[in-house]
Each structure stands twice: as C-alpha cells, then as structure tokens.
C-alpha cells in the first residue's frame, strides 16, 4: 500500500498516500473507524482513527456519554451513578504523532500501530481492544508531512540529504505548534481540542516525538522538576507510574538506552492540555536519525549535555546504556510503536484505576483546592480595542472553563466591580486550567549547584494571560456572596487595527530567512490574522538592494545575528545557502538612509546594532547566565505615552522578555527611548523567572534610532510572542506606520 515497509531506510510517505492507507485499513477492519475532523492550515484532510473492539465501536455514543459523566461529577446524582459509570466505562486514550514534522518516525509509527491493532489476534491486543477506546491522530501537522517528505526526496543523494527543509514545517508556527495547547491560535490545535479532548476527555494522552541523535534512545516520563503547581498531584503520580511502566516493558524486550526523569520538565501548560483536564500527558522522545537516513554514533560521541543523566553511564533512571553504533528509522519506529503498545497495555490492565483516579481528580476540582482563590473577577472593558479580553475569554471557553457574569456589583477590598463583570469560580472541573493561565508564575530558582548557574527550563517560565493580553483579573479569596449568571459565551474579538486599509497603507516587507525562524511565522500569522498587508522578502531580493523603491518598512523577525548574516550552510542548494550577507547589510543601510523604517525584533536588534553601527549598546552582550537570566518571562515596561510608537498604550505595560538585548543609549541626539524597564530592580519581574534583574533595571527595552532620513526601531523583547502578547501588538503596529508612503 505504501510501496515500502514503514521503517525502511530513506523511505517516507507523503500525506495523501498515508490518508489512503488509513482509509483502506479502516475500510478493511471492524476494529477501527476513519474520521476527518477538518482541514489543516494549508487545506489537507485532518484525520483521526477511533480504534476499539467491534462491540465497543457499535456503542461509541454510550461510552462517550459515560466518560463525560465521570469528567464532571456534578452530574452524578447518586453514588450508584458513579459506580455504574466506573464499571462500564473504557479507558479513553488519545495518541497523537507527527506534530514536529522533521521527527519522521512519527509519520510512520501510527501506520504500524494501527495495522497491528487491526490484525493482531493475541490475547494482549484483544484486552486492549476490549478495555480501551483509542483515538489515534496519525499526524497533528499533515502539511508538514508533505513539506518534509518533498524536501527529503528532493535532496536524497545530495549534500543536503537529511537536512531540515528551508521553510517552517508548520505554515505559521514551525516547531512552536507544540506550544499552542492553551492559546489555541492554530487550526490544528483547535480541531483536536474541540473534537477529541473536549468530547472524549481522555484519561491518557500520548504524544510521540523525537529528540537529538546523540542522547538517550528514548525518553519517557517521569518528567523533571518543576511541575506546574496547578496540576493535580494524582495526575503526576499517573505520569510517573505509566512512563516507568512503559520503560520497564521496553527494557524487558531488550531495548537499551531508555532514560526516564531526564531533560524534560512539566512546567509550561503550553504542551500539556490534558494535565488541566483530568488526564495524564505522556511524552516520548526517540533519538533521531538524519530524517530517514541512518546515522552512526560511536559510544564515546554520545552527548552528555542532557539534563538528569549521562548516556555513557548507568544510573537509576538510565539503567542500561545503548552501546552506540548505527541508528536507523527502523529503530525509531520500533521504539515508538512498542512504546505506544506498552502504554495501551497499561491502559487496558489498569482500566479501573485510570477511571477511578479520573473521577477523583475531577471531584477535587469541583470541590475546590484549599488555599486557592474562590474566584477570579474580570471586569468588562469600555473598549476591548486590542481584542485582549475577548481572546482571553475565548481561550477559557475553549478550555471548557465556565465563565459567568456578576448579577450585582462586586466589592473586593477597596476595589469595586460593576454588575456584568466576568467571574471564574475556581470550583469546576477545569479550574486548574483557569488558575494556571490567570495567575502570575513564580518559577523556582533552580541551579546546577548552590550558588551556581541556573538550570534552564525546558520551555519558557510564564503564561499569565491577563498580563500578556492587557486584561485585569483580580482574585477573590472568599465567596463573592452575590448571584451569578449561568455560564456565558465569550464576546467576539475584533481583530483589526486602524491604518492598515485604504490608499495610504505602508508597504511592508517581512524578511523571510531560509533558516526559517519561528518568529517569522508568528509574525506572518499576526499579519494574516489582523489583515496587515505585507510582502515576504527573501535573501536575493534583500541583496539586490533598491529596497526603498519597494517598501516603506522592512521587518526583521527574531533571529540570531549569525543566522541573519550567514543563513543556511553551503550543503543547501541555491537559492537557500547563505543569508543577508554583506550585500544585504548594505541594502538595509541604504534603505534606512533613504527614509525607510527598519524594525528589528529581539535578537535581530543585536544584528541591526552591530551591522548598522547604531549608537546604542546591548548591556547584556556577553553576560553569562549566572549574571543575568530570564528564559521567557513577563517584565514590567514603562512607556513614553507621547511617543507615536506608544500611541493608544497605557504608560505601564509589559514586555515578553526572552533572552533579548537591553539597551544603553550612547548618543541621545539620535536615539529616543520609547519603553524602558523600571529603575527599581524588584519591580522588573511580573511573572516567570529572572536572575539579577538589576542588570536591566532602568535600561531601554524599545528605542528608535535615527539614521539618515530614516529610522531603526529596536525591540529588546518579542512584541507578538506566539500570538499571545496582545498587550504589546500596538507597539509593533504603530512602528509599521511611521514612514509616510
């Protein structure tokens, strides 16, 4: 059917071929049904299979209903209701694969797993089919399957064989598609959350990934600390037990190189929707090859950088090192398929416990956790011009959080909120989801050793949506003692900004590097969503110069100076190798001198400062992590309200800080400071983690530098971070409108 055995070296399938395979398999088996949930960003069919015994499949609606009852114990009227549901229900498992499309084992493993479940007659498989309802999403990113497969086949046998494609493998987000599981900005996330998570309430979610080539052969949970504090402890126990059980099973089959409790922490909710919805989320990370091409890794070249274990040494969480040697696509799909099967065996064997614990978790959430606020109050805004309030309420709604409105005014201490204010009571099934998103984060101060360098988080450290979206949300310790409405729908967000329609719209060039930084994709997503017209500009166009004839504004998304300048290595064919180069730098300088506006975001600001010799200094240049550190945090930022870039903004705002520069002004006649961090160091951090904030206290975060008749706007932060920092969108939108056409 595929024309090769999944796992064969150098063989990948594109998405249409895989879809036909799943259709044929489901057509031939009474153990599975094929469903199309919708369409991907680029219009490909978005597919799921539901797999169980033929008897269970005939009563799917009944089992969905039972599981929904356990998910919200408020509907269970008598203890007998609960007993019946627990006795009859099946463990619901969701297995998702292929979200990161260069992790190509994930394209094929679901095909092998589905085939095994469709055809195997062993008692183990029968037990799985009888006790489990499996939702299998064979790719969370169908577009990327085709993007990567096309590139791989095109470069086979050339020096670029096995390299990543010179474009994002998700149209807007690239690798960040896996960081969207609370913001729900992308259609793929929305489809899975709306049609599987929220309908089937899986007790177990298993997401299949790959990691670097030279670490462990497979990572399985337990995760490292820190664990986000709003996750029910019983779910962490479930993660620990299940991951360890999978590792134990695979070790019993003779597989080596399995690490648990290493590398990956459980802090951000961005990857773990189910941790806030009653289920566990099991990540697996198999070692990669070079896409579908095998690699050879001698034992002494296994990398020791991974946190929590050493791949060359035995330890309690890495009991049997892999001896090194050849690693192939077959190895990857074997580890992944057998891992997923081990998970399903556990789900079947411990059906009673998974369901009982699920009910316990939801029961606790409904009763409320000691020490949690009773509710959050979110006042209405006279004008939700940025769409922040509507977006925030939309996120809570999609996450199945009940939002009500106050029938009377609310008084909290000295604060008074009008009737009609939104109220989120933290006694409901998914209260933890709301709390994790509404409260400021206090990331623990983790160090390599006492007083030593910081231990980096796996992802970022903050997600406080009210700060990111410019919304007020006030916790109330006690019951509000007023009437509340039934749950309400969120208002619609109006996602337009003045000045981007009509004859005078600025001509915007958005630099599109072949290195494919995610921030470029997020910028495109922002522009497409907010209907900001733009043209993508590649290296050849930049290097050719005469940019002022074409554009009023050129925007460099967040990308390192080295990548901007040098681009992809010479293994890549034309036109992909090389970056902006000296000609691109010259063209940009000319563009600004001729009156254009150059906007540089985050790390790209360092490039602009260095290459255009701007009279500002990055005070963090060369500063080591133990002297300053903030790996994705929300800072306070003070704005000059009179500056056109800050038009419509409050004087107190935020900045999504993520390893960017902070500026000292060297020539105040040429540089205007638009935004700066507070002068008092202890006021800098609003949410997340910072070490030595005094390094940036009082420093400029956003400046405008005059050069010739034009200007360079330097953002030391990410004003459009992952589609979430709505509070600072106007700074970017206003910057785009500074040059008259």
What is the contact surface with Zn ion in residues (CB under 5 A)? 100, 209
Q: Cβ 732 to Zn ion, closest distance in Å? A: 29
For residue 8, give Cα distances in angstroms to 13, 329, 665. 11, 7, 58
User: Least Å distance between CB 173 and Zn ion?
Assistant: 13
Q: Do you find a cis peptide bond into 320, omega within 30 degrees of 0? A: no
Q: Which of 144/723 has CB closer to Zn ion? A: 144
Nearer to Zn ion, 100 or 107 (CB): 100
CB of 96 to Zn ion, least distance (A): 11
Q: Closer to Zn ion by CB, 287 or 425: give it.
A: 287
Q: What is the C-alpha separation between 724 and 727, in angstroms, rounded?
A: 8
Which helix (DSSP H) or strand (DSSP E) does residue 704 occupy? strand 700-707
Rounded to the nearest 10 degrees, the angle between the axes of helix 15-28 and helix 142-155 is 120
Measured from the CB of residue 564, what is the shortest distance to Zn ion in angstroms? 25
Helix (H, G, I), strand (E, B) or coil at 185: coil
Q: Is 318 left (phi over 0), alpha (psi -120 to 50) or beta?
A: beta
Q: What separation in angstroms does the CA of 161 have from each of 8, 289, 578?
A: 16, 12, 18
Between residues 177 and 687, which has the closer beta carbon with respect to Zn ion?
Answer: 177
Angle between helices 15-28 and 105-119 (to 10 degrees): 10
Calpha distance 689→460 (Å, rounded): 9
Q: Rounded to the nearest whole angstrom, what is the least distance from the CB of residue 99 to Zn ion in the complex?
A: 6
Smallest distance from Zn ion to CB 106, Å: 8
Report how far residue 729's alpha carbon sits from residue 27's, in angstroms, rounded to the nearest whole number.
48
In the complex with Zn ion, which residue's Cβ is closer, 209 or 330?
209
Q: Which residues contact residue 593 at a Cβ distance below 8 angstroms, ignoring those fewer than 6 apart? A: 707, 708, 709, 710
C-alpha of 229 from chain center: 19
Shorter beta-carbon distance to Zn ion: residue 287 or 410: 287
CA distance 598 to 709: 12
Distances (CA, A) of 676 to 609, 622, 645: 18, 21, 13
Q: How far is the CB of 100 from Zn ion (least distance, A)?
A: 3
Tokens of 565: 């300048």
For the bound state, the minimum distance from the C-beta of residue 487 to Zn ion, rounded and expressed in Å, comes to 35
- Shortest gap between Cβ of 283 and Zn ion (angstroms)? 8
Q: What is the smallest separation between the CB atom of 272 and Zn ion, expressed in angstroms? A: 14
Distance of alpha carbon 563 from alpha carbon 675, whole angstroms: 27
Closest approach, Cβ 689 to Zn ion, in A, equals 23
**Contact between 70 and 201 (Cβ < 8 Å):** yes
Q: Would you state the structure tokens that stand for residue 264, as one six-digit string? A: 């990956």
List the beta strands (DSSP E) in 332-490: 375-378, 404-405, 410-412, 415-417, 422-425, 474-476
Q: C-alpha angle 688/692/698, rounded to 5°? A: 95
d(CA 697, CA 397): 37
Beta strands in 5-153 (DSSP E): 32-39, 45-51, 91-97, 132-137
CB 197 within 8 A of CB 94: yes
Structure tokens at 39: 């369409």
Nearer to Zn ion, 65 or 212 (CB): 212
Quick check: 215 and 311 in contact, CB under 8 A? yes
Q: How far is the CB of 321 from Zn ion (least distance, A)?
A: 23
* Nearest residue (CB) to Zn ion, 90 versus 100: 100
Nearer to Zn ion, 223 or 628 (CB): 223
- Burial of 340 (C-beta count, 10 Å sphere; 0-12/13-18/19+): buried
If the CB atoms of residues 85 and 343 are measured against Zn ion, the closer one turns out to be: 343
Virtual torsion, Cα 538, 544, 546, 550, nearest 10 deg = -30
Nearer to Zn ion, 209 or 718 (CB): 209
Rg, Å, the chain Cα set: 26
Q: To the nearest whole angstrom, how small is the minimum distance from the Cβ of residue 103 to Zn ion?
A: 5
> Which residue, 30 or 212, has its beta carbon nearer to Zn ion?
212
When the beta carbons of 210 and 230 are compared against Zn ion, the nearer one is 210
* 209/404 with CB nearer Zn ion: 209
Nearest distance, CB of residue 209 and Zn ion, angstroms: 3
Structure tokens at 338: 């057998």
């Amino acid at each position: 059917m595929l024309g090769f055995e999944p796992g064969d070296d150098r063989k990948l399938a594109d998405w249409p071929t895989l879809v036909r395979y799943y259709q044929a398999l489901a057509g031939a088996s009474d153990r599975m049904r094929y469903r199309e949930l919708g369409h991907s960003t680029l219009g490909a069919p978005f597919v799921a299979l539901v797999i169980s015994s033929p008897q269970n499949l005939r009563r799917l609606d009944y089992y969905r209903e039972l599981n929904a009852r356990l998910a919200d114990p408020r509907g269970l009227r008598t203890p007998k209701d609960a007993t019946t549901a627990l006795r009859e229900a099946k463990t619901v498992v969701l297995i998702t694969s292929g979200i990161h499309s260069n992790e190509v084992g994930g394209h094929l493993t679901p095909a092998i797993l589905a085939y095994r479940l469709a055809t195997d007659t062993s008692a183990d498989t029968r037990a799985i089919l009888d006790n489990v309802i499996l939702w299998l999403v064979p790719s969370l990113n169908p577009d990327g399957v085709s993007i990567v497969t096309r590139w791989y086949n095109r470069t086979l046998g050339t020096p670029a064989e096995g390299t990543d494609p010179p474009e994002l493998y998700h149209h807007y987000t690239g690798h960040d598609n896996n960081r969207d599981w609370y913001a729900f900005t992308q259609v793929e996330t929305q489809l899975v959350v709306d049609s599987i998570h929220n309908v089937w309430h899986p007790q177990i979610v298993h997401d299949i990934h790959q990691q670097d080539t030279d670490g462990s052969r497979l990572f399985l949970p337990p995760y490292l600390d820190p664990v986000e504090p709003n996750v029910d402890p019983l779910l962490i126990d479930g993660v620990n037990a299940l991951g360890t059980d999978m590792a134990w099973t695979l070790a019993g089959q003779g597989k080596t190189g399995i690490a648990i409790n290493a590398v990956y922490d459980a802090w951000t909710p961005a990857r773990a929707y189910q941790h806030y919805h009653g289920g566990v989320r099991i990540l697996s990370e198999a070692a990669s090859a070079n896409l579908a091409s095998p690699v050879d890794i001698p034992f002494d070249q296994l990398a020791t950088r991974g946190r929590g274990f050493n791949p060359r040494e035995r330890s309690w969480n890495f009991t049997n090192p892999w001896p090194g040697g050849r690693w192939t696509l077959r190895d990857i799909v074997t580890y992944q398929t057998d891992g997923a099967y081990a998970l399903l065996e556990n789900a079947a064997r411990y059906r009673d416990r998974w369901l009982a614990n699920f009910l316990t978790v939801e029961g606790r959430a409904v009763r409320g956790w000691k020490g949690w606020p009773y509710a959050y109050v979110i006042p209405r805004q006279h004008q939700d011009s940025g769409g922040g309030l509507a977006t925030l309420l939309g996120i809570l709604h999609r996450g199945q959080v009940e939002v009500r409105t106050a029938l009377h005014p609310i008084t909290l201490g000295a604060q008074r909120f009008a009737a009609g204010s939104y109220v989120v009571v933290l006694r409901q099934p998914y209260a933890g989801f709301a709390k994790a998103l509404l409260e400021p984060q206090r990331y623990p101060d983790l160090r390599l050793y006492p007083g030593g360098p910081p231990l980096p988080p796996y992802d970022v450290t903050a997600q406080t949506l009210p700060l990111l979206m410019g919304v007020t949300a006030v916790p109330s310790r006690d019951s509000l003692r007023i009437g509340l409405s039934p749950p309400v729908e969120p208002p619609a967000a109006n996602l337009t900004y003045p000045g981007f329609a009509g004859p005078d719209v600025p001509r915007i060039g958005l630099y599109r590097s072949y290195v494919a930084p995610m921030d470029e994709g997020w910028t495109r997503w922002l522009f497409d969503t907010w209907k900001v017209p733009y043209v993508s500009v590649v290296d050849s166009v930049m290097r050719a110069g005469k940019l002022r004839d074409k554009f009023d504004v050129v925007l460099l998304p967040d990308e390192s100076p080295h990548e901007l300048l040098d681009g992809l290595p010479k293994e890549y064919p034309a036109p992909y190798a090389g970056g902006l180069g000296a000609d691109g730098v010259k063209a940009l300088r000319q563009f600004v001198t001729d009156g254009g506006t150059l906007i540089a975001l985050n790390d790209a600001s360092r490039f602009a400062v260095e290459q255009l010799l701007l009279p500002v200094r990055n005070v963090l240049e060369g500063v080591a992590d133990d002297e300053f550190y903030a790996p994705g945090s929300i800072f306070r930022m003070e704005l000059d309200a009179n500056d056109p870039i800050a038009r419509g903004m409050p004087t107190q705002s935020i900045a999504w800080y993520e390893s960017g520069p902070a500026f000292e002004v060297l020539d105040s006649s040429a540089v205007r400071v638009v935004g700066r961090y507070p002068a008092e160091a202890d006021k800098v951090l609003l949410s997340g983690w910072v070490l030595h904030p005094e390094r940036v206290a009082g420093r400029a975060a956003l400046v405008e530098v005059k050069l010739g008749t034009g200007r360079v706007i330097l953002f030391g932060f990410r004003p459009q971070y992952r589609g979430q920092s709505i509070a600072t969108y106007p700074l970017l939108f206003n910057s785009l409108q500074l040059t008259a056409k």
